[in-house]
Amino acid sequence: MSEVVKLQLIGLSVVGFGIVILLFVRAQFARVIGFVSIVLGLFSLVALAVPQMASLPPAEEKFDIATVKTPTDMAAIGQKIFFSKGQCALCHSIGPSESARCPDLKGIGAKLSREFIFESLTQPQAYIYLDYRHEGLPKEYPARMPYINKNPIGLSKNEILSVIAFLQQMSGEPISVNPSELEVPGQAPAAPVKAAESAPVAVAQAH
């Protein structure tokens, strides 16, 4: 018997208990308790009737560098991170979606260079967007994207590279990220990704 079924049975019993009190007991305070039991039991039953989703902490992807041989291996890890620890799918979709609140990422790996994607993930405020949806001069606004390499999401560089590999793969592009770029814990970091850290603030257009 599943937990939901058990809870439903308890909820039904509470409602039944309340009905019995209202039917057979005359004392007013007891009747009020019966009434309250019915209300609380019904509330629990309604709550059990909606989809039951628990929020589990994101699974830590084991990044055993020795087992990552090809860019495709990285993309497979990146896909898992995209839908779990990275929380990307909370806001973005891959393909058109009514519920997505942020840009559709389908084909993003073909549209943007890996350096641009890396910078968008780690320095989302580096680009100021122009909003043309108002009268007069377009308004500037920074992206609402969180810093992916900082808490609460806090992806490591290896994890970010894997996500980039996934984005390129699902866009049908050749994966330009190589397993040799992965940082081995305890060793000196590999050559940094060519992120435009010191580049001047660029302006992109949002239509």
- Spell out the SS3 assignment of 81-122: HHHCCCCHHHHCCCCCCCCCCCCCCCCHHHHCCHHHHHHHHH
Count interface residues toward other proteins (CB under 8 A).
43
Distance CA 166, CA 78 (A): 5
**Nearer Cβ to other proteins, position 60 or 199?**
60
* Cα separation, 21 vs 34, whole angstroms: 5
Q: Does 20 bind other proteins (CB under 8 A)?
A: no
Compare residues 14 and 68 and give the one whose CB is closer to other proteins. Answer: 14
Give the x-and-dash track for 108-147 against other proteins (CB under 8 A).
Answer: -------------------------x----------x-x-
Q: Which residue has the tokens 């018997």?
A: 1
User: Which residue from 52, 47, 76, 49 is spatially nearest to 62, judged by alpha carbons?
Assistant: 76
3 makes contact with other proteins (CB under 8 A): yes
3-class DSSP state for residue 78? Answer: helix
- Measured from the CB atom, is 19 or 48 closer to other proteins? 48
In the range 58-77, which residues lie near other proteins by CB under 8 A? 58
Smallest gap from residue 82 Cβ to other proteins (A)? 14
Q: What's the rounded Cα separation, in Å, for the pair 63 and 165?
A: 15
Binding residues for other proteins, rule: CB under 8 A, are 3-4, 7, 10-11, 14, 28-29, 31-32, 35-37, 39-41, 43-44, 46-48, 50-58, 87, 90-91, 98-99, 101, 133, 144, 146, 150-153
